[in-house]
Amino acid sequence: MATAPDSVPTAITGITYFYPKAGTVLTAREGKVELPLGEIPIPLLKEDFSKEEPSYDAVGRGIYHLLRANPDAVFADRYAALLRDAYPHLLAELATHLVMLDKKDVDLPYLDRKIAYLKIFSLLEPGNPRFPLEIGATFFEKGMTLAALGNTTLHLFSAEKFLRKAQQLSPDDVQVRYMLGDVCYILGNYQDAALFWDGIIEHVNQETGDKIRTRAAAIASGTAPAVPVIDYLQAVGVALEAYEADDCEEAAAILLDVLEAVSGYDEFPRAEINYLLGLCYLKLDIPKYAEAYLREALLLRPGYTEAAVELQNLGVTP
């Protein structure tokens, strides 16, 4: 008779759990594969579920779906191990998808998918600093994306969490320490930022070194910004909400204040802010201002398709 484990499995849309009898082993591929199924609930697609023991393919489909949907689910590390040991073709497919996602334009669903896939590989190689580094970098990218600024604090704290994990695994990695210092600086954790940047200036390019040197000096002298960058990011999130509520005057006022305050922050999504300002002035029927801010968005980010389209709609050449 099936025995339920001590931990309750995570509810996943489209998944039903099969509870195998203790000691159940699924044999497949002419005896070349043996899957121990009797220790944990097995996720199955609802269309594959029955009271009978599931097939090899059904188990693979269920595990693959669960991990992509929620790599933080209960037993995810065990499911990832089963995927590695019994379904190498699905793991290879996952790796291919991850490579393809790296070539996509920044888009929130793609970033979420990339984070999920990286987490799966991190489950398989918990000692590899590359995966928490890339997860942290992707959360940082997400936190700097205009559409996600309403939750930017959550995304940047997640970035810090994974970058700190990468730093613990590889304490001297220059890229990790630089990025972690950047995130800490944006969050207003200036002392930690200075610690992570200490000693890496000679290992980065001149532009990055100059930025670190300037900010480290401000921290040391007590002149670092009293209002951390994260507060301005949150303000842009408020402006975005105002814009979506058709309160474009309020949105524009907030964005203008933010732009004035963050002119020196190259991490800040200034192209996106100028684009949003352009949209505000379009709705306010002030085309001269709209054109100016849309052009600035293109200047800051050449190839900004949305800004170019809006300029064309205004009847001007991008």
Evaluate whether 36 touches 60 at the Cβ level (below 8 Å).
no
**104 or 124, greater pLDDT:** 124
Judged on CB neighbours under 10 Å (0-12, 13-18, 19+), 247 is middle
The answer to whether the 94-221 and 229-313 domains have the same CATH topology is yes
**76 or 1, greater pLDDT:** 76
Report the range of poorest mean pLDDT among 21-30, 137-146, 269-278, 287-296: 21-30
**Which residues, including other chains, have CB under 8 Å from residue 261's CB and lie 6 or more apart?**
227, 232
Give the CB-side neighbour count of residue 295, counting CA atoms within 13 A. 10
What is the average pLDDT value for the chain, to the nearest integer? 91
The whole-angstrom separation of Cα 250 and Cα 2 is 60
Percent of the chain with pLDDT over 90: 75
CA dihedral 100, 106, 109, 113 (to 10 degrees): 40
Q: pTM for this structure?
A: 0.88
- 4: pLDDT strictly greater than 60: no
What is the domain partition of the chain in residue ranges? 15-86, 94-221, 229-313
The whole-angstrom separation of Cα 227 and Cα 239 is 18
The whole-angstrom separation of Cα 186 and Cα 192 is 11
CA dihedral 113, 114, 117, 123 (to 10 degrees): -120
Closest CA relative to residue 24, chosen from 44, 1, 5: 1
CATH class of 229-313: mainly alpha
- CATH number for the domain whose boundaries are 94-221: 1.25.40.10
- 104: pLDDT strictly greater than 90: no
Quick: pLDDT tens for 233-256: 999 999 999 999 999 999 999 999
